[in-house]
């Protein structure tokens, strides 16, 4: 068994205490995944969780028309996967690795053993599941209730919380996001995303700096998407 070591935690694993996070580290098996590979495909049996030690991945959903929607984007410190009480359940999304990554793989049977052995671990794991479900609910809320402009503004806010860096009164999203990426995130055409971004630029809500999106008027974006000021662990891409 490897020595217990608490590494820096970010993203959706902050709900675990140091002791319980160590339980995860010593139980999971380390794997390396090259860019472009998949952790799992839609329809695969859901029997593992994946912890991003280094790298990035995205969760996608294919529509009947063949369009691929980007549901989530994960980075170092995030845990990925589907854990539910139904044995033999299948993944409803696909997980693609976006860059060479080091990932800890946790079998469901080992997860069940941790839950049985440590009641406080079970509580932390329930918190993780709650955060994951709330993130899903708020994303679908944004996509369904306030139209494509609301969904786009919500996505820009989430990108700002995940990759943003303050720069004076503005926030620069330090990740190059194409219009195609944004269209896949909100289920819109690239042309409609182009028009909505142009409108936001005319209203001086956003700008571009060397290909990076700059948030200039956060309150305007929040007003368009009827932002409920969710905590940062929920309001993320």
pLDDT (0 to 100) of residue 88: 66
pLDDT (0 to 100) of residue 185: 92
* pLDDT higher at 220 or 169: 220
Q: Which segment of 27-31, 115-119, 196-200 scores lowest on mean pLDDT? A: 115-119
- φ, ψ for residue 11 (rounded to 5)? 60, -140
**What CA–CA distance (Å, rounded) separates 186 from 69?**
8
Q: If we measure between CA atoms, which residue out of 15, 235, 13, 220 comes closest to residue 141?
A: 235
Query: Which pTM does this prediction carry?
Result: 0.86
pLDDT (0 to 100) of residue 141: 85
Q: State the average pLDDT over residues 201-217.
A: 94
Dihedral sign (CA 226, 228, 229, 233): negative
Quick check: 3 pLDDT over 70?
A: no
- φ, ψ for residue 229 (rounded to 5)? 55, 50
Give the Å distances, CA to CA, from 129 to 63, 66, 139, 212, 214: 25, 30, 16, 32, 32
pLDDT (0 to 100) of residue 233: 81
70-107 residue pLDDT tens:
989 999 999 998 877 555 688 889 999 999 999 999 99
pLDDT band for position 2 (cuts 50, 70, 90): very low
Q: If we measure between CA atoms, which residue out of 125, 129, 142, 106 comes closest to residue 236?
A: 142
Average pLDDT, the chain: 89
Q: State the average pLDDT over residues 24-31.
A: 95
Spell out the SS3 assignment of the chain. Answer: CCCCCCCCCCHHHCCCCHHHHHHHHHHCEEEEECCCCEEECCCCECCEEEEEEECEEEEEEECCCCCEEEEEEEECCCEEECCCCCCCCECCCEEEECCCEEEEEEEHHHHHHHHHHCHHHHHHHHHHHHHHHHHHHHHHHHHHHCHHHHHHHHHHHHHHHHHEEEECCEEEECCCCCHHHHHHHHCCCHHHHHHHHHHHHHCCCEEEECCEEEECCHHHHHHHCCCCCCCCCCCCC
Question: Is the separation of the CB atoms in 103 and 75 below 8 Å?
Answer: no
> Residues of the chain with pLDDT > 70: what percent?
94
> Residues of the chain with pLDDT > 90: what percent?
62
Which residues on adjacent β-strands are paired with residue 95? Answer: 40, 59
């Amino acid at each position: 068994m490897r020595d217990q070591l608490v590494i820096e935690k970010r993203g959706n694993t902050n709900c675990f205490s140091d002791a319980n996070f160590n339980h995860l580290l010593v139980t999971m098996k380390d794997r390396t995944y090259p860019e472009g590979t998949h952790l799992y495909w839609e329809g695969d049996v859901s029997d593992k969780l994946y912890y991003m030690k280094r790298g990035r991945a995205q969760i996608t959903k294919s529509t009947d028309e063949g369009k691929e929607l980007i549901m989530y984007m994960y980075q170092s410190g995030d845990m990925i996967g589907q854990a539910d009480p139904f044995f033999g359940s299948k993944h409803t999304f696909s997980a693609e690795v976006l860059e060479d990554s080091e990932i800890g793989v946790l079998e469901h049977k080992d997860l069940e053993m941790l839950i049985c052995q440590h009641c406080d671990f079970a509580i932390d794991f329930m918190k993780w599941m709650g955060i994951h479900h709330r993130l899903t609910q708020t994303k679908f809320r944004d996509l369904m209730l306030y139209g494509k402009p609301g969904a786009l503004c919500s996505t820009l806010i989430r990108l700002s919380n995940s990759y943003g860096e303050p720069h004076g009164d503005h926030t620069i999203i330090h990740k190059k996001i194409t219009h195609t990426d944004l269209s896949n995130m909100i289920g819109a055409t690239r042309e409609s995303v182009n028009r909505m971004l142009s409108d936001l630029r005319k209203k001086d809500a956003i700008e571009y700096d060397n290909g990076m999106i700059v948030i200039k008027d956060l309150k305007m974006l929040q007003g368009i998407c009827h932002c409920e000021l969710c905590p940062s662990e929920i309001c993320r891409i």
